[in-house]
Chains A and B, each alone.
Chain A
């Protein structure tokens, strides 16, 4: 039989995929533990999510949460910073701390036979950090220099301005996780210690463990090493007022840029089970994938860019919609015109084939999200952060499939608002000013904090 190459092969077999099962238990100090037993490799991944993100940073102390996380593992439980780092390295264990707007996350990735020793070190960092003055001062000045360095990075600058203008001054989510040079410089060691005492408590945290270990053994080890972690009375609050923005172009000057970094978008309602899947499909069609409308237009048809995407960024208590790309200076105005066109055009409806493509892509990709230990842990962490229903993953595929064409079209009307777009351009203003004058949109020149000059 001669092979007919013109025919795309079809799948005949059904895929047999079962979700990993989550077990939960609570330590006697109140720490909630989510455990997934995964045994294909001799390793364990552990994520501790603490509700201690930059949104809690007090005014003029931006960077406090992040700096706390940087000092936290600089010595603990009688080990100095270098000894502690050596102990982890000797075990071949990856230990890390990261901070975002909502939370501080401690992670551990270790071979199974090194788990208990790694957990013991982990417990030292979490329960007995040294917070020495010399370590604090070193990390503080390193962070100030890192903030200085980020002024070189056009993507970072564009995000910085965008977050600020879209969410506004009165919103804690609009400030950078790493803080500003002067706010970080003003932070004291005492403030770091208070931050730790206030937020780093079991009742404010969730622990996710994925790996090759038995449930009762895990419980025994966690009890042994984390049960002494004590709670404190606390009251957490942050500013979360979002103001509606007028359509404007915000121009940040970066001398000698050979490209323009572009961000276009606006504030968006919170993540909600009522409309999450409508927005997900909408964005998959508009700009979430390589073959979405925006990338096909800007990259594959016009060659203006290496890539262009759109997304809904969901924080725990806030959200925005954003299109981002970077283009050669000469293409700035054409690229912007095409982005605005796509944001208009999505209101004219979507096709059946676009809907089917998005559903097929999202549902069939589902098993790929549960391949690595880290992916599984992140999935569970996300479920906790957004307070998703217990059966979120079980119902994911049927929820995606249940969305109709008119629901997606309705979502376009509700969640893409072309009258409220903030447009951020980072580039050389001397080369850009002519190119953006014909849009009939007010142009404001801003500094890196989004303040008009």
Chain B
């Protein structure tokens, strides 16, 4: 499929900033997308959530861009913008009409090179309040909102980079200091620790010149701290029960699994789809369709650079005991370990995945983010075909072996139980 073979130009500035250019002139838009190689996994005890707080601070202006003006300039030009923080990286992106490429590069380079002079205690205090509210809104005041934190503090040993959530603990958010933020920048926000993608409607020569013009003079520094990759194991199952203001009880099962792009990663994704990805998937059919003891069920492989976890989540119908649901889930996993999945199940999953690859190409900013994603994990941005092929290569044997390698091991079981 030639729609998945993206012809990119790659380059590197003297200060170490890598860049990738991808032209698509089907519509006059341009997407600018930067990944910094730092996420919540790089934080330390007592300072959880700092990478995410920092993402907020990057929108508070820089030496030549006053507070609020980063947003205002992009929106005035008709663009959209945002950033996001994961365990492994932080990204910043804007999509603009094609004639505003220079504006985006000016803004991104100003906060990469000239952020610290504009940092103030007042801005920090304001964004600490905003992030505290974000945590309240998206976690503490949401039904089941604390599940992820409860699982990961139990699944990973203390100090493991995935043992806390990206938003951070409330107490830590309250305690960040001005020095923390300054030091965080000085540790990670160097041009040689970032990769810039420009995708859309532009000329390569012009883009290369503009990147050199705006980013070329930014001084690099040593930014090579990386968390260690460890392979934590559970010795036995861990049961966590949490009472919450919810109507229906919910069961979460979490296993350690393979890292992103690891040997079993794609097979586990396909296994998850076979378990719960469609109406006729195994667990959905049993729990929701036939027995009607669950309201929903979902399984997924969530993998990163420093750890992977396989999750199965199911909400019980009123009056149904979670034990009953759990038994059916574990029985189904046993079945997959013994018997092959069917040809039809495999084909169904693969056809769905293939379509999703094509559908994802509609958005130039999604494409730009994928280019950075592949560059970050595989070294080569143009890896759409390679990635699709990873799923196409999954077969009955690899599914059985992946499920055996990970899902027969001890797990964390979280039960969120209705208070009422």
Contacts and interface: CB of A to CB of B under 8 A. Distances in A.
A145 to B, nearest CB: 5
Contact of A257 (B141, B288, B344, B354): B141
Contacts of A363: 78
Interface in B350-369: 351-356, 358-359, 361-364
B331 interface: no
17 contacts: A8-B103, A8-B106, A11-B100, A11-B102, A11-B103, A17-B97, A40-B26, A81-B279, A86-B278, A86-B348, A90-B347, A153-B143, A303-B127, A303-B130, A362-B78, A365-B97, A368-B79
B358 A43 contact: yes
A93 B355 contact: yes
Main SS at interface, chain B? helix
A313 B130 CA distance: 26
B29 A368 contact: yes
Interface in B215-256: 217, 245-248
Nearest to B26: A40
Contacts of B79: 364-365, 368
B214 A300 contact: no
A142 interface: yes
Q: Which of B78, B103, B134, B278 has the most CB of A within 10 A?
A: B78
B29 A371 contact: yes
Q: Which of A5, A14, A326, A363 has the most CB of B within 10 A?
A: A5
Given A302-B129, A328-B132, A371-B363, 19 more contacts: A11-B99, A15-B99, A86-B280, A89-B278, A89-B348, A91-B351, A92-B355, A141-B292, A256-B245, A259-B137, A303-B125, A303-B133, A304-B133, A306-B137, A327-B133, A363-B78, A367-B29, A368-B95, A371-B364
A328 B289 contact: no
A162 B358 CA distance: 40
Given A15-B97, A142-B295, A3 B213 contact: yes
B46 interface: no
B182 interface: no
Contact of A152 (B80, B114, B131, B246): B246
Contacts of B140: 258-259
Interface stretch (A222-230, A288-296, A337-345): A288-296
Contacts of A433: none
Contacts of A373: 362
Nearest to A327: B133
A305 B133 contact: yes
A97 to B, nearest CB: 13
Given A371-B362, A371-B363, A9 B133 contact: no
Given A41-B358, A89-B352, A306-B133, A368 B78 contact: yes
A242 to B, nearest CB: 31
Q: Which of A90, A300, A360 has the most CB of B within 10 A?
A: A300
A155 to B, nearest CB: 9
Contacts of A3: 213-214, 217
Contact of A361 (B76, B98, B318, B358): B76
A237 interface: no
A301 B78 contact: no
A209 B72 CA distance: 36
Q: Top 5 closest A-B pairs, CB basis?
A: A364-B78, A303-B129, A92-B355, A152-B143, A85-B279
B78 A372 contact: no
Contact of B355 (A17, A94, A300, A362): A94
A360 B76 contact: yes
B103 A328 contact: no
Contacts of B138: 306
A151 B247 contact: yes
Interface string B310-350: 00000101100000000000000000000000001001100
Q: Which of B26, B245, B279 has the most CB of A within 10 A?
A: B279
Nearest to A88: B278
B184 interface: no
Given A14-B99, A367-B28, A149 B72 contact: no
A306 B100 CA distance: 28
A5 B126 contact: no
A254 B245 CA distance: 9
Contact of B64 (A6, A40, A290): A6
A253 to B, nearest CB: 12
A348 interface: no
B205 interface: no
B179 interface: no
A109 to B, nearest CB: 6
Name the interface size band of chain B.
35 or more
B363 A303 contact: no
B136 interface: yes
Interface in B170-219: 213-214, 217
B29 A305 contact: no
A291 B106 contact: no
Interface string A100-142: 0000000001110000000000000000000000000010011
A38 to B, nearest CB: 9
Nearest to B366: A372
B365 to A, nearest CB: 9
B278 A291 contact: no
B137 A326 contact: yes
Contacts of A11: 77, 99-100, 102-103
B77 A152 contact: no
Contact of A148 (B26, B28, B248): B248
Given A15-B28, A16-B28, A85 B99 contact: no
Contacts of A368: 29, 78-80, 95, 97
Contacts of B361: 41
Contacts of B129: 302-304
A109 B359 CA distance: 8
Interface string B249-290: 000000000000000000000000000001110000100110
B57 to A, nearest CB: 12
B148 interface: no
Contacts of A254: 245
Given A8-B106, A85-B279, A306-B130, A138 B289 contact: yes
Given A93-B355, A154-B141, A258-B136, A149 B295 contact: yes
Contacts of A94: 355, 359
A297 B68 CA distance: 11
B22 to A, nearest CB: 14
A291 B295 contact: no
A294 to B, nearest CB: 14
A146 interface: yes
Contacts of B348: 86, 89-90
Contacts of A8: 73, 103, 106
A256 B220 CA distance: 49
A306 B134 contact: yes
A398 to B, nearest CB: 16
A361 to B, nearest CB: 5
A92 B97 contact: no
Contact of B76 (A83, A89, A110, A357): A357
Interface in A296-324: 296, 299-306
B3 interface: yes
B405 interface: no
A9 B106 contact: yes
A12 interface: yes
A365 B78 contact: yes
B283 to A, nearest CB: 13
A109 B142 CA distance: 32
A363 B64 CA distance: 26
A372 B362 contact: yes
Interface string A247-289: 0000000111111000000000000000000000000000001
